[in-house]
Chains A and B, each alone.
Chain A
Amino acid sequence: MGKKLVIVGSGAGGASVAAEAKRRDPDLDVLMIEQGDYTSVAA
């Protein structure tokens, strides 16, 4: 496994970080933490 990326929040910003970082570096170990029920919500 590559480096560990932790993302706090999965709204428009956090979800974009997760998707793009993983796309650019598939070896990244990505964990996204969301306090609510939903990820990547369009407001």
Chain B
Amino acid sequence: MPYYIGDVIQDEDKLVARTPERFRDGGIEVLTQTSVMEINAKESLVQLGDGSRVKYDILAVGTGTIPILPGIPGQDLEGVFTLKRLNDAIRIKAWIEEKPVHEAAIIGAGFISMEMCENLRRRNIKTTVINMGALPVTRWDPIFSKKAQEELDKKGVVTLTGTKTQNIEKGADGRLHLTTTVGELVVDLLILAIGVKPDAQLAAAAGIPLGKTGAIQVDFSQKTPLENIYAVGDCCEVFNRVSKRWVHIPLGDIANKQGRVAGRNIGGSPMLFPGIVAAQSFRLFDLEMAATGIDDREATQAGFHPVSSIVWGNAIAGPMPGNSSVGIKLIADQSTGKLLGAQAIGGAGAVSRINTLSCALWAGLGLDEVAYLDLAYAPPFSPSWDPIHVAAQDLLKKL
């Protein structure tokens, strides 16, 4: 959706994988603009907004997430948006084009905020990131987050760090006047991108147990503990193969897979969801950032003894023109020598390396195996010792 707002994707219809009409053509009934008020698990029915009741034999809950709001006076004003639904993206784009918007601010500095920065700058909108913390995208090592911050600076994004927004008011000029802990800021558009939480209220009210993460508890069949009730996607938990823990990672690719697994189980072709390794990527202007597995802190929490190191290498062979630097951080368990996680940043080739390392994590490879993985070498794509090999060999010294 950020790329739709940036007009890289021009047509909103392209974001819809399957329209209600196409579902109906396939024999699936669809109700849009219809709220479910209550799930009554005892009587196996749902109550809709118009008071009508629908009986079910099997229920699947896919209620997604809700944006976390900062709780600032004025957060409901016109011109202040969250970005969750396609409607939000359409409204933001219309606001940008009609207003017009010259200056924007984003509260939050996660990957959605970063994608929005790129796309707002693409539209030549002066953009300010209001970050309560010191660095953006904190999933990554501070050394990589600093690189992300430098990229923001280089592309003309203003960042206010350690800054809280205290008040939003609509001025006599029709613009949004933000009072922050470092002064006043006047913008035409404000995006709230602090994060999301599982939308599990309906489920919880129905007595469907939630996990420790606050998301709906499921098993590998996507079944909740209540009979005939499944849950899929961002509203439920997912098993992390590395930490062996149930986590909440709201990403659309995971939701797709969980949905397909639930659909198979409901449709009589049983299968188990294999879990995830938490692979993730995004682009920030000319930078690729990606991560997979768990970081040092999560590793310690999961009972591992993590060691890690960062190596900078070349994404392509040294003598080739267009050489670009790529940073790779590997995290491994000192006791077993197994890879636990990886992070990468670079102009090109960071995401592809994280995909490779995701396979290594999936397979439970040891660092010694990663150090000699047979990868597809050719000068335009990598040095003969890929940065993955170099990073693994570097970390092996710490085991």
Contacts and interface: CB of A to CB of B under 8 A. Distances in A.
Interface in B278-298: none
Given A16-B263, A35-B36, A6 B46 contact: yes
Interface string A1-41: 00111111111111111111111111011111111111111
Contact of A42 (B15, B54, B260): B15
A11 B60 contact: no
A7 B62 contact: yes
Interface string B235-258: 100000000000000001101111
Report, as a range, how many residues of chain A touch the other chain: 35 or more
Interface in B20-77: 20, 23, 26-36, 39, 46, 48, 54-64
The binding surface of chain A is classed by DSSP as mixed
Contacts of A18: 23, 28, 263
A38 B28 contact: no
B279 to A, nearest CB: 16
Interface stretch (B169-177, B226-234, B358-366): B226-234
B26 A11 contact: no
Which 3 A-B pairs rank lowest in CB-CB distance, beginning with the nearest? A13-B233, A24-B267, A20-B263
Interface of B: 1, 15-20, 23, 26-36, 39, 46, 48, 54-64, 85-87, 202, 230, 232-235, 252-253, 255-260, 262-264, 266-269
Interface of A: 3-26, 28-43
15 contacts: A7-B62, A8-B63, A12-B253, A15-B259, A16-B258, A16-B262, A17-B230, A19-B18, A21-B264, A24-B263, A24-B264, A25-B267, A29-B29, A40-B16, A40-B23
